[in-house]
Structure 1
Amino acid sequence: MTASFVYRRSYRGPVVACVFDWAGTMVDHGSLAPTSAFREAFAAFGVAISEAEARGPMGRAKLDHVRDIGALPAVAERWQAARGRPFDENEVQAVYADFIPRQVATAGAHADLIPGAADAAAALRARGVRIGATTGYTRAIMAAVAPRAEAQGYAPDVTVCADDIAGRGRPAPGLLFQAMTALDAWPPAAVVKVGDTVADVEEGLNAGVWSVAVTETGSEMGLSLAELEALTPEDRAARRLAAADRLTRAGAHFTIPGVADLPEVIDAVEAHLARGETP
């Protein structure tokens, strides 16, 4: 038997694009806006949910997020007791319709840039990296966020929202693929995805790109900047390590406290690429 040569292509160029999540990554330290809106929406139907229950599916498209909360056995039981009927798709749509205007209001009120976000994006652009974004937010929600972020110095070249594509949202890779197409960013090994949730990490992995997770500014920590800075150094370190462990176990290639630390990660990614290593 004659052995045959198999060519294996290896991309060894630079990072060409970085695609960020929004809440918890670039704006809204602690990803506080979605949590409060979900709790208020369920409470409007007489069903209380905890912060942990509201945060559990964070990063998903918001309609899927409502479905996931209602599918929790404890929430489903409370819903049945309060409403006298199961949490079916009709109930999902009712809660979602109540949620959207609440989320628009809270997202706009929590649109402050996370420290270092604008500088990190500017540093990437200075080295020729294109900037994109994907989000579980809808276009209506982003209309309350994007102008405020731009006024503070951050405006990605493209943002793909949960309702911009048909089919499954994150962790499916469709949003990220659309962002990559709009940015003319390829191959996947030349792209970095940055987010704060397991859904973000899995979105990157499912698209075949480098997946970077922030630990201190997002939903895993769940604290405002003031709350984070009020922690003792020991408590802050322990909580950061716990968040890093969860996100690393989800598959993140790198974890960093926040996006201010991203330029060093891009250097590390490009060193891997130069050696012919891929995500």
Structure 2
Amino acid sequence: MNKIEAVILDWAGTVVDYGSVAPTSIFVEAFKQAFNFDISLSEARIPMGMGKWDHIKTLGLLPQVDARWRARFGQSMTDNTVDQIYKTFMPLQIAKVVEHAEPIAGVLETLEWLTSQNIKIGSCSGYPRAVMEALVPVAADFGYKPDSYVASDDLAPGSRPGPWMALQNVIELGVKDVANCIKFDDSAPGITEGLTAGMWSVGIAVTGNAIGLTEQEWQALTLDQQAELISQAYSTLYQAGAHYVVDSLADATLVVQEIMARRARGERP
């Protein structure tokens, strides 16, 4: 059956939280509170899309962060260090995420169209289960109610860039063929997740981590500034392996239609 059965959607930067602001600002705050150690927002964004414990560990492995950490503490970050930062991160993130639970403009209309095409809505996130349990009901109050969702710590093998969360959605939604799924994500690990799961993978450029600006910050830029950032974001997501890239999930209908046509011809990702 060569038809699109489901889309698997990331959360922050793809469906909610324009600019993927909630997680990045909290990484900065968690390092500061736990160890009085400064990281920048741009550094915090580098591993975006990974599970949050892995994200913190990867931040510590960044050469510039590791050098500053060793200069300050005499050794590199250990797993115990990561645990301490993660414990600080979790309550901060739970409190922050509900402030960014409203869907990005135009996204609900796209989801309504997908539902009208008998396409199921799956979802997964770099957020752990405790954060998702705070986010999901608030997003539902705004009208976003996916058919399934999977958190980064739900599965024993781990999370992104592995395929496991996307494939758990396949199981929960009863999808017959992974080639009948489209994964939407604003981060390179999320694109890899879709590719390794055997799905069509579409990058989200403007509303997500690739640009990392709030809607107000984005609108304040000149057209030339926006064009430069769009070019960079598209390049980053295509280099990650995305089959297609769009500005926002709100703009995704034509891409979905093109993939539907390719599946009808028997093409696979």
TM-score scaled to structure 1, two decimals?
0.93
1:272 partner amino acid: R
Which of 86, 103, 106 does residue 93 from structure 2 map onto?
103
* CA displacement 1:54-101 (0-9 Å, x = unmatched): 000000000100000011122122223333443011101111111111
- Which has the higher Rg, Structure 1 or Structure 2? 1
Aligned-pair CA distance for 1:124: 0.4
* Aligned-partner Cα distance in 2 for 1:57–1:132: 23
| 1:154 and 2:144 are equivalent in the alignment | yes
* Aligned-partner Cα distance in 2 for 1:78–1:233: 37
Q: Which residue of 2 aligns with 1:74?
A: 64
Could you say what secondary structure the match of 2:225 adopts? helix
Q: Which residue of 2 aligns with 1:138?
A: 128
* CA displacement 1:170-208 (0-9 Å, x = unmatched): 010011110110001121110000010001110000001
Could you tell me whether the CA contact under 8 Å between 2:47 and 2:59 is conserved in 1?
yes
Q: Which residue of 2 aligns with 1:7?
A: none
| 1:177 and 2:167 are equivalent in the alignment | yes
| 1:22 and 2:11 are equivalent in the alignment | yes
2:166 partner amino acid: L
Could you say what secondary structure the match of 2:218 adopts? helix
| 1:213 and 2:203 are equivalent in the alignment | yes
2:57 partner amino acid: R
Q: Which residue of 2 aligns with 1:42?
A: 31
Q: Which runs of 5+ in 1 are unaligned?
A: 1-10
1:39 partner amino acid: V
TM-score scaled to structure 2, two decimals?
0.97
Which of 178, 192, 195 does residue 182 from structure 2 map onto?
192
Q: Which residue of 1 aligns with 2:110?
A: 120
* Aligned-partner Cα distance in 2 for 1:161–1:82: 34
Could you tell me whether the CA contact under 8 Å between 1:47 and 1:78 is conserved in 2?
no
Could you say what secondary structure the match of 2:15 adopts? coil
Q: Which runs of 5+ in 2 are unaligned?
A: none
Could you tell me whether the CA contact under 8 Å between 2:60 and 2:76 is conserved in 1?
no
Q: Which residue of 1 aligns with 2:73?
A: 83
Q: Which residue of 2 aligns with 1:6?
A: none
* Aligned-partner Cα distance in 1 for 2:229–2:151: 30
1:119 partner amino acid: E
1:258 partner amino acid: S
1:34 partner amino acid: P
Could you tell me whether the CA contact under 8 Å between 2:129 and 2:151 is conserved in 1?
yes
1:141 partner amino acid: V
* Aligned-partner Cα distance in 2 for 1:50–1:17: 37
Aligned-pair CA distance for 1:232: 1.1
Q: Which residue of 2 aligns with 1:54?
A: 44
* Aligned-partner Cα distance in 2 for 1:161–1:142: 7
* Aligned-partner Cα distance in 1 for 2:61–2:98: 28
Could you tell me whether the CA contact under 8 Å between 1:15 and 1:191 is conserved in 2?
yes
Aligned-pair CA distance for 1:274: 2.0
Number of residue pairs aligned between Structure 1 and Structure 2? 268
* CA displacement 1:129-155 (0-9 Å, x = unmatched): 000001010111112211121111111
Could you tell me whether the CA contact under 8 Å between 1:117 and 1:154 is conserved in 2?
no
Could you say what secondary structure the match of 1:162 adopts? coil
Could you tell me whether the CA contact under 8 Å between 2:48 and 2:55 is conserved in 1?
yes
Aligned-pair CA distance for 1:235: 1.3
* Aligned-partner Cα distance in 2 for 1:80–1:132: 42
* Aligned-partner Cα distance in 2 for 1:236–1:194: 22
Aligned-pair CA distance for 1:275: 2.1
